[in-house]
Amino acid sequence: MLPIFTSGQLVSRSVAGCFLVATMAASLAGCATPDRLTTATGYPEDFRARYPIVLTETPTTLDIFPTMRGLDKSNAQRIRSFAADYLVNGHGPVVIQMPANGGSHSFARPAVDQIRQQLHASGVKGYVQVGTYLPNDPMQASPIRLSYVGLGARTTRPCGEWPRDLASASSMEGWENKSYWNFGCATQANFASQVADPRDLAAPRGETPGDVSMRTRAIGKVRTGDDPSVKWMVRNSSIGSTGGN
């Protein structure tokens, strides 16, 4: 015997059936879409992508504070190191600027002649420009400035940028367990400034020839059945005998 339903029961059952179909469709649609809990950060996760190191033409400067007697050994050593860097990475003229006024103006000119002699002795054979500049405060010590333009490494952005709040109290921004924007900038900037030859970041250096004598010695010992390793003789001495009597 078939069940008998009233018109109200038929309407309620049809509504329930439509609701069940809609719920199943939404569930299936949710399985086909990506994880909706995953949110994009809006910037690269890797700090090397946020602060990449690039090779640019940048000025390199050196401030020399001469004494009344001219250049001392410390200043001469700084100038030789400056000249060595110029020969590797620099091009164009070397610019020497001395203060136009101030307390160090009187003995700056003799020091400039000594600086040019140090540059020439270090191998700088190019043109050297000599000029003056106005110090910001004549009462302060004004150095002689050396500069050249050459290849250098630096980051594309300066450190200290904070476009997002680390822990906002009014929103969920900054609550993700992800690197903040400024993370890794100091490491990249320090690494770029410490590279002796910026060209090493673009391509590796060529290999040097192998040590033929060491290789021949090792091969000869292997052929005769001897141990090819190097035996280092370590001689220990007592602490009481060190330095003599």
Q: Residues of the chain with pLDDT > 70: what percent?
A: 76
**Residue at 18 is within a domain:** no
**Residue at 63 is within a domain:** yes
The CA distance from 110 to 69, in Å, is: 9
pLDDT, tens digit, 9 for 90 and up, residues 87-115: 988 989 999 999 887 666 777 888 999 99
Residue 194 scores a pLDDT above 60: yes
Asked if 45 and 139 count as a contact pair (C-beta separation under 8 A), the reply is no
The CA distance from 150 to 132, in Å, is: 22
pLDDT, tens digit, 9 for 90 and up, residues 6-19: 444 444 444 445 44
63 confidence band (pLDDT: 50, 70, 90) = very high
Which stretch of 14-28, 53-67, 133-147, 202-216 has the lowest confidence by average pLDDT? 14-28
**Residue at 136 is within a domain:** yes
What is the rounded average pLDDT of the residues 150-171? 82
User: So what's the pLDDT on residue 29?
Assistant: 47
Residue 146 scores a pLDDT above 70: yes
The CA distance from 186 to 192, in Å, is: 10
Asked if 8 and 149 count as a contact pair (C-beta separation under 8 A), the reply is no
User: So what's the pLDDT on residue 34?
Assistant: 44
**Residue at 119 is within a domain:** yes
242 confidence band (pLDDT: 50, 70, 90) = low
Using DSSP bridges, classify how beta strands 128-133 and 53-64 pair: parallel, antiparallel or unpaired.
unpaired
208 confidence band (pLDDT: 50, 70, 90) = confident
**Residue at 199 is within a domain:** no
Q: What is the CATH number of the domain that holds 136?
A: 3.30.1330.60
143 to each of 110, 115, 117, 243, 244, how far by Cα in Å? Answer: 13, 13, 18, 46, 49
Q: What is the count of structural domains for the chain?
A: 1
User: So what's the pLDDT on residue 173?
Assistant: 66
DSSP code string of 69-106: TB--HHHHHHHHHHHHHHHHHEEEEEEEEEESSSTTST
pLDDT, tens digit, 9 for 90 and up, residues 130-140: 999 988 887 78
Taking all residues of the chain, what is their mean pLDDT, rounded to a whole number?
A: 79
Q: Cα 159 to chain center, whole Å? A: 11
User: So what's the pLDDT on residue 30?
Assistant: 47
User: So what's the pLDDT on residue 101?
Assistant: 78
Cβ neighbour number for residue 244 with a 10 Å cutoff: 4
Both tokens of 236, joined, read: 């220990």
**Residue at 122 is within a domain:** yes
**Residue at 13 is within a domain:** no
What is the residue range of 80's domain? 58-150
pTM, two decimals, is 0.58
